[in-house]
Amino acid sequence: MPIIKPYYNVKSRRYASTIGSGTGTGGTFAIAATAFTTDTGAAATAFPSTYAYYNLYLNAMIQTADTSSVTTSSVSIPGGDTLDAATPVILEFVVT
């Protein structure tokens, strides 16, 4: 039986910002997609509408899935307003 190598057409999209770019308090804290820059350094206009999964990094530490939710226009991080404004935020979307 021949070995069949799997085909992976997986790409990632990364976005960077800081907590200080967010608005709201407590459970309503969110950062707009337009407050992020892309891997190319360009201003983001929206997050991907379809993706396999995403990872959230706060201060370079990956976060568990229950700490955020994302739409095409923003990422919600309940309680994120309690973090230092300079805390880096990285969103990585894995798209197929």
* Residues of the domain holding 77: 11-95
Backbone φ, ψ for residue 26 (5° rounding)? 55, -125
Is 2 among the domain residues?
no
Residue 43 lies in a domain: yes
Domain-embedded: residue 4: no
CA 2, CA 22: separation in Å to the nearest integer?
Answer: 53
The chain-wide mean pLDDT, for the chain, equals: 93
The predicted-structure confidence for 37-71, as pLDDT tens digits, reads as follows 999 999 999 999 999 999 999 999 999 999 999 99
Confidence tier at 96 by pLDDT (50, 70, 90): confident
**Is 39 inside a domain boundary?**
yes
Residue 3, domain member (yes or no)? no
Predicted model pTM? 0.88
DSSP E strands in 1-96: the ranges are 11-18, 30-32, 37-38, 53-58, 61-62, 69-70, 74-76, 88-95
Domain-embedded: residue 17? yes
Confidence of residue 7 (pLDDT cuts 50, 70, 90): low
Q: What is the pLDDT of residue 11?
A: 87
